[in-house]
Every structure is written in C-alpha cells, then in structure tokens.
Amino acid sequence: MASGGSEKSVLSRVREYDQRMVLLRHSAALLHWDQETYMPAAGEEGRSEQIALLESLAHEELSSPVLGELLQEAGASNHVGIPGDLNESLLRELLRAHKRAALVPTRLIEELARTAGAAQSAWRRAREQAHFGAFLPSLERLISLRREYADAIGWEASPYDALLDEYEPFTSTAEVQGVFAELQPRLTDLTRRIGESGSAVDDDILHRDYPVEAQERFGRQVLKEVGFEFDRGRLDISTHPFSTALGADDVRITTRYNPRFLPSGIFGTVHEAGHALYELGFGASIRAGSLAEGASLGIHESQSRFWENMVGRSLAFWKYFYPELQRCFPAQLGDFSVEKFYRAVNVVRPSLIRVEADEVTYGLHVILRFELEKALIEGDLTVADLPDAWSATSQRLLGIKPSNDAEGVLQDIHWSTGAFGYFPTYALGNLYSACFAEALQRDIGSLDILLEQGNFAVILDWLQRNIHTKGRSLSPQELCVQVTGQHLRADAFLSYLETKYTPIYELS
C-alpha cells in the first residue's frame, strides 16, 4: 500500500465509494424485505423495476473504472492467506468484487433483478397451486441469465464455479463434490441404522393444536434471552423464513408458523436468530462498510445451524426453556416430560421438506438440490425435466417421493431469486458449526452446562469475539483456521451426530 498523506486520501475515497455501495445494497434489501412481508400483490411490477434500478446503480459503482484506479493506487491485492489489517482486508475484498463486477454488463444485472422480482411472485403462485408449470417459464429465463452471468465472470471446469464463488468465496465445485462424496454415504448409513434400530421416538405431541399467538409469544421470549435486540431488529412472518440486514442497527428476521406442527415456528425463529446475531455482532471498526458481512454464506449458515440445532435441539436448552413452553401450552404439554420432548424434536425420519428436516437427513436435502442445480447450469438437465429429476433424486437419497410439486421442486424460494450456487452453503454451514462448537467448548467449557443455566450471554460473547466481529475481513478458510486451528473437516459434524443420536436411538 502507498504510504504517507496520500494513502489516507486514497483510502478515504475508497471508503466513500464503499459506503455508497453499502447504502444502495441496504436500500434494495429493504425493498426485498417488504416484497416478502407486506407489499400488496399488485405492487409486483413496480417493485421489480425499483429493485432493478438500485441494483444497477450499485453495480455501476462497484464496476466503475474510477474505483479500479483508486484500488490500484492504494495497492490492493487479491492475495489470500496473508493476514493483514482491516484496511488491507477491505481493499482485498473490494478488488475481488470490482473485478467480478467489471466483467458483467449493467444490462445483465438489471435484467436479472427484474426477472427475479417477477419470478418470485410466479413461484409463490405456483407453490400455492402446487403446479410447477406456472413457474417453468420464469425459471428457464433465470437459468439462461445465470449461465450468461457465469460466462461473463469466466470459468474453467464448470460454469457452476462462477456462481458458487459468489456465495462461498475461494471454493470450487470439485471441492464441494469431494466433501459431499464423504458426507452422503455416512449420513445415509446413519439414517439406515436409526431406521433399523427398532427404537421408536414418539413425536405425535408435536402435531397437536398450537395456537400461533402463543407460538409467537414463546419465540419472542427465546429471541430476547439469546441476545436478539428488538430495538435493532424485528420479527415478522413470510412464506419462507429469512434474515436480512438493512443497516448496522436494523436487522430483520421472518418466520412461519404451523398451528399443527410446533417445531416449524420454534426452530425457524431460532435459525434466523443465528443469522441475525451474526449481522448484529460486526465490530465497530467495520460496521459501516463491505466488511460488515459474513465471511461466506457457509460461515453465516454455521451460526444459524449452531443456534437451531446444537443449542435449540439440545436437552440442556429445553431443561431451561421447557417450563416456559409448558406455560404457553399447558393443555398440550403439561403432562409431557422434557426428556420425551427432547426426543420428539430430534426424531430422525426421511421427510420431504428441507426446512423441517432433522439434523441427520438435512444434508441429503442439500445434496439433492446441489446435484440438480449443477446439472441445470451445466446444461445436463432441462427445466421441463426438473420435477421428474427431483422425484428420482429424492427417492435415491431419501427413499421417498413428493406427492406434488409444492412438496418437491417448488418448496424453496432460492431458485426464484436466481440464487444458484447457494444451496451447498447450508451443508458447509453444518460442518463449520461443529468445528466452531468444539473450539467454543475448548475455550469456555461445556455448552450443556451453560445452556442449562441459561447463560446465553457467555456463548454469544465467544461467538462475537471469535467470529462475528471479524466480518468479512478473513476468508472462510482463514477464519476457520484462526478459530479452530484446523481447516474445515467433516468428521467433527459426523462425530457430533453419532454422539447425539446413539443414545436417542440406542444404536450399537
């Protein structure tokens, strides 16, 4: 980097560019949030144009030759693996993003945003009707545009590489395939052993009548105790739960409730809380710029999966919260023990809906989507053949087929937004969460003891110090090594599953 007074001048100008781009992204995020929560149905066309304009303006800022010249003058380097200060990290991330943006025409960004806006509405209608044909033209157009985007970025082994790198930087399709090749047979084997164990877990209790108002009241109490700050965020309802940051002090989450299935609302809320706590925990020195983002979506997902599963589905968590849950639902749960409830929320049973899948089979849902979207992007699968391919892959991996499109190919919102390359990050998040949990317990002691005492502040403090405050200043690989002392590995997650489910199902 250049030195002396000129350095400050150049860096200051770079930061001004960065802050403008962040403001534009947050403005677009607000429109997306409103689209999924409160926007009238007739507002679809105008909203698509509004989002397209903001995203094109942000793209023009990021791809600007002026920014490229400033980054060059500041000595920005895209080298990975050399730890540096926050200025160096910001320059590295901006240079990487600038180079990608400069390769993609603004016209394509506008068209992607406009098409995705209309596609989300088409997806919602198709999902309500359980009819894939109503969504097919939109999906075909999005895939065509995403292929064009990948070609503009450039790729060597697969066009999917260019899309995956957007969500999981410095990670290739071949690397993900390698991880999944190790993960899938182990998950399949554990699922089979559980199914053959003869030790049934009764989860009928979860399918009683649970009024939504009481579910929301309990969810808000959990959010408050784990550290979600309602003066810096809010909780709403949407078709598909999500979390979004509209600013350093405005992070919003949504959930959905099923009055006949209690876990949907509870764990959807806790999952999104994990994302929100990450967004709210960025350090003061990075909160106004591009470093105030997750290191990757895999790292982001590690936080939601940690809170949802390693915390939220633990016996210790329910020993603390179950009395409150019983007060919310005395008729349903008053005579049901916490041990039985713990087993019920950890039932392992191949199911059709990813967001309601158990910990063991969840990864198989992700692998299914990865295989299909990779084939779509690489041209090995047509959109018209997607529903049949979904059913066949679901049968192969999970042993079950959907009875309609809403249970299958239409259940996720991601493809309607054009987010191809996103799904693998869910499984990578599971792996990261297990590695981080090992490091956490090494540093501050037993997670179960902390949870049973309701000592969530200690847990959140460790996560903030070691993960959240870093933001995007480190690559996901760098962060993992810094926190755990090792590179990402699957054995920590697989060991966690074996340790947890062996006593539940009395496995040998």
**pLDDT higher than threshold 80 for residue 69:** yes
Assess contact for 330 and 324: CB atoms under 8 A: no
Q: Which pLDDT value is given to residue 45?
A: 87
> pLDDT (tens digit, 9 = 90+) per residue, 175-224?
999 999 999 999 999 999 999 998 889 999 999 999 999 999 999 999 99
Q: What's at 422, amino acid-wise? A: Y
Q: In which element (H, E) is residue 395 found?
A: helix 386-398
Higher pLDDT, 392 or 508: 392
CATH number of 173-505: 1.10.1370.30
> pLDDT (tens digit, 9 = 90+) per residue, 426-448?
999 999 999 999 999 999 999 99
Q: What is the DSSP string of 114-181?
A: HHHHHHHHHHHHHHHHT-GGGTHHHHHHHHHHHHHHHHHH--SS-HHHHHHHHHSTT--HHHHHHHHH
**Cα–Cα dist 387/381, whole Å:** 11
pLDDT tier at 2, thresholds 50, 70, 90: very low
Q: Which residue has the tokens 């005395």?
A: 330
φ/ψ of residue 172, rounded to 5:
-100, 160
Q: Lowest-pLDDT range, 85-89, 372-376, 384-388, 398-402?
A: 85-89
272 classed as catalytic:
yes
pLDDT tier at 5, thresholds 50, 70, 90: very low
Question: Choosing from 166, 272, 293, 407, which is the catalytic residue?
Answer: 272
**pLDDT higher than threshold 80 for residue 270:** yes
For residue 196, count CB atoms less than 10 angstroms from its CB and return exposed for 0-12, middle for 13-18, buried for 19 or more.
exposed
**Cα–Cα dist 317/451, whole Å:** 5
Domain locations in the chain? 5-166, 173-505
**pLDDT higher than threshold 70 for residue 6:** no
- Residue-averaged pLDDT of the chain: 94
Q: Which pLDDT value is given to residue 81?
A: 44
Q: Which pLDDT value is given to residue 423?
A: 97
| pTM for this model (two decimals) | 0.91
Q: Which residues in 226-381 belong to E strands, given as ranges? A: 233-237, 243-247, 250-255
**pLDDT higher than threshold 80 for residue 8:** no
